[in-house]
């Protein structure tokens, strides 16, 4: 309690005394900031009789504060000689309120993507250890988790998935906790969770281990994605926690198309399609849409950009379904979200390669609101300079586009996610960005 009080005091004083003098993120001191400071003073000075009832009436203790913009905490990637990014990550997570969650003797799932073997853009286990250590310090029982994939690769069952996690450096020593694959040996161990007011999904098929956890923390590598535009907290939740049949349900509306003029018949796409949906005759590929489940794996593997997601609403529907899956996962349990904006590659970490990042590393963010967190990441990314020679840079011929995600992966629409998430009352697209040193 004392630590929390001191943290509130520090945060409130920083915001009230320092931020109004800085304009980097146009931070505005809100009524709630002053109220938070009053709460701290009340805790320290025991002035309950003066402040108590009024303050409790005006401050929400819900996961997402509906009174005002959600708070997203941010720290950049700069360090000094006596500091480290790991220390900064810990500070930003604590500032964002991770220790507000009662973790005592609770199973805490830390949802991460271990990276396909060959990919080097995935988050290092060092980041996960910071989170796991905080959970342990709060007397929680942390474990790292992810569910198996729909496509052919090295994470399509629990054994290969664990092998890949180990090869990529994740083990109890490096990650600070055990690793459990969320949907069982063959990706079939799931639980159906209801989606309240779901428009596209009635029950989300979620890996049983994740569904059984008491608390969920997402540790997200923020990057581009070939079907959803970007990958952040909602993608890590909605797609990443889905079992194989859940992933099928999410993917089946979005199917790619082949530009036969670009196709050279190299057959690389056929080797990654787990559904055997692609055939190549006379050096031209063809997709059997009845077999295709829309996993998007073939899009990134084609060296000649002959396969693209279709320019129709189906990709938006995938976005909507991901939102509804996410809602099912977190609606009944405490949750917290962390995104690392580094190595922002043009495709998902499911790829066994990672092309040059499209923009420089940005920073680390944390929030109790996954929607606000994703929106803040997207907005920050849009402001960054392009990296010359990246897929983004080449796609737009060096002229910065309005939407770097759509330009990197044509046909994607980030706004579809946010509009549906707000409609589903999952979180807040409006946020205050609060910098933590
Ligand atoms: S990977 Fe691309 S170029 Fe090669 S066969 Fe498939 S669609 Fe054609
Ligand atoms: S053809 Fe369909 S199922 Fe096969 S890799 Fe491409 S998107 Fe996935």
Ligand number nearest CA of 284 is 1
What's the CATH number of domain 71-250+315-435, 1.10.3470, 3.40.50, 1.10.10, 3.30.70? 3.40.50
What is the number of the ligand 1 atom nearest to the C-alpha of 280? Answer: 5
Please identify which residue in the block is written with the tokens 């509906």. 66
Tokens at 70, concatenated: 């959600």
What is the number of the ligand 2 atom nearest to the C-alpha of 296? Answer: 7
Closest by CA position to 293, among listed 265, 253, 326:
253
Report residue 46's pLDDT band, with 50, 70 and 90 as the boundaries: very low
pLDDT in tens, 239-258: 999 998 888 888 876 678 89
CA 113–ligand 2 middle distance (angstroms): 21
pLDDT in tens, 151-183: 778 898 899 999 999 999 999 999 999 999 999
From the CB of 275, is ligand 2 less than 6 Å away? yes
Report the pLDDT value the prediction gives residue 193, as an integer from 0 to 100. Answer: 97
From the CB of 292, is ligand 2 less than 6 Å away? yes
Long-range CB contacts for residues 194-197, cutoff 8 Å, separation at least 24: 194/328, 195/324, 195/325, 195/327, 195/328, 196/327, 196/331, 197/424
Ligand 1: list residues with CB < 6 Å: 258, 263-269, 280, 285, 302, 304, 306-307
What is the number of the ligand 2 atom nearest to the C-alpha of 276? Answer: 4
| Beta carbons within 8 Å of 306's beta carbon, 6+ residues apart | 258, 259, 260, 261, 262, 263, 264, 285
Domain ranges within the chain, ordered by starting residue: 2-58, 71-250+315-435, 255-309
| Beta carbons within 8 Å of 314's beta carbon, 6+ residues apart | 253, 254, 255, 294
Please identify which residue in the block is written with the tokens 């002959």. 306
**Which residue, by CA, sits nearest to atom 8 of ligand 1?**
263
For residue 239, give Cα distances in angstroms to 59, 113, 226, 236, 351. 33, 11, 14, 6, 15
Report residue 302's pLDDT band, with 50, 70 and 90 as the boundaries: confident
Strands 178-181 and 141-146: what pairing? parallel
What is the number of the ligand 2 atom nearest to the C-alpha of 269? Answer: 5
Report residue 36's pLDDT band, with 50, 70 and 90 as the boundaries: low
DSSP string, 214-272: SEEEEEEE-EEETTTEEESHHHHHHTTTB-HHHHHHHHTT--EEE-TTT-----HHHHH
Closest by CA position to 152, among listed 322, 354, 350:
350
From the CB of 153, is ligand 2 less than 6 Å away? no
Q: Tell whether the model's pLDDT for residue 38 goes beyond 60.
A: no
% of the chain exceeding 70 in pLDDT: 83
Strands 335-341 and 215-221: what pairing? parallel
Report residue 50's pLDDT band, with 50, 70 and 90 as the boundaries: very low
Per-residue HEC secondary structure of 85-143 comes to: HHHHHHHHHHHCCHHHCCCCCCEEEEECCCCCCCCCCCCCHHHHHHHHHHHHHCCCEEE
pTM of the model: 0.77
**Residue scoring higher pLDDT (27 or 366):** 366
Report the pLDDT value the prediction gives residue 309, as an integer from 0 to 100. Answer: 65
From the CB of 256, is ligand 2 less than 6 Å away? yes
Average pLDDT over residues 71-79: 97
**Which residue, by CA, sits nearest to atom 6 of ligand 2?**
298
DSSP 68: S
Please identify which residue in the block is written with the tokens 């692609």. 278
Which of 278, 308, 318, 409 to mutate to test ligand 2, by most ligand atoms within 8 A of the CB atom?
A: 278
Which of 156, 256, 302 to mutate to test ligand 2, by most ligand atoms within 8 A of the CB atom?
A: 256
| Mean pLDDT, rounded, of the chain | 86
For the domain made up of 255-309, give the CATH fold.
Alpha-Beta Plaits (3.30.70)
**Residue scoring higher pLDDT (21 or 120):** 120
Rounded to whole angstroms, the Cα distance separating 206 from 201 reads 12
What is the number of the ligand 1 atom nearest to the C-alpha of 266? Answer: 4
**Which residue, by CA, sits nearest to atom 5 of ligand 2?**
273
| Beta carbons within 8 Å of 26's beta carbon, 6+ residues apart | none
| Beta carbons within 8 Å of 6's beta carbon, 6+ residues apart | none
């Amino acid at each position: 309690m004392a630590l929390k009080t001191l943290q509130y005091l520090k945060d409130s004083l920083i915001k009230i005394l320092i931020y109004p003098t800085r304009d980097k993120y146009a931070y505005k001191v809100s009524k709630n900031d002053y109220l938070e400071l009053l709460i701290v003073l009340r805790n320290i000075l025991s002035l309950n009789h003066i402040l108590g009832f009024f303050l409790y009436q005006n401050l929400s203790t819900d996961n997402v504060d509906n009174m005002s913009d959600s708070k997203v905490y941010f720290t950049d990637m700069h360090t000094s000689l006596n500091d480290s990014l790991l220390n900064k990550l810990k500070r930003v997570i604590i500032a964002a309120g991770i220790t507000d969650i009662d973790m005592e003797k609770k199973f805490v799932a830390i949802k991460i993507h271990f990276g396909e073997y060959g990919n080097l853009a995935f988050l290092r286990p060092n980041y996960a250890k910071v989170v796991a250590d905080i959970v342990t310090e709060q007397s929680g029982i942390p474990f790292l988790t992810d569910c198996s994939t729909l496509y052919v690769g090295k994470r399509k069952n629990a054994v290969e998935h664990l092998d890949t996690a180990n090869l990529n450096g994740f083990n109890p020593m490096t990650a600070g906790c055990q690793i459990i694959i969320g949907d069982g040996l063959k990706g079939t161990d799931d639980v159906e969770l209801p989606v309240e007011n779901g428009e596209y999904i009635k029950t989300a098929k979620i890996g049983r281990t994740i569904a059984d956890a008491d608390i969920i923390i997402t540790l997200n590598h923020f990057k581009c994605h070939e079907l959803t535009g970007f990958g952040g907290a909602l993608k890590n939740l909605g797609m990443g926690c889905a079992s194989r049949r859940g992933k099928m349900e999410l993917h089946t509306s979005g199917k790619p198309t082949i530009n036969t003029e670009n196709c050279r018949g190299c057959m690389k796409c056929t080797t990654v399609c787990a559904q055997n949906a692609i055939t190549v005759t006379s050096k031209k590929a063809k997709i059997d849409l009845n077999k295709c489940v829309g996993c998007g794996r073939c899009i990134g593997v084609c060296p000649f950009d002959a396969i693209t997601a279709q320019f129709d609403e189906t990709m938006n529907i995938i976005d909507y379904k991901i939102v509804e899956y996410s809602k099912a996962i977190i609606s009944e349990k405490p949750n917290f979200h962390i995104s690392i904006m580094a190595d922002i590659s043009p495709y998902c970490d499911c790829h066994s390669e990672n092309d040059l990042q499209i923009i420089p590393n940005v920073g680390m963010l944390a929030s109790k609101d996954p929607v606000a967190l994703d929106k803040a990441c997207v907005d920050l990314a849009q402001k960054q300079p392009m990296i010359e020679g990246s897929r983004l840079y080449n796609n737009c011929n060096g002229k910065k586009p309005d939407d770097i995600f759509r330009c990197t992966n044509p046909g994607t629409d980030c706004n579809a996610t946010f509009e549906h998430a707000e409609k589903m009352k999952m979180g807040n697209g409006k946020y205050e960005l609060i910098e933590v040193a």
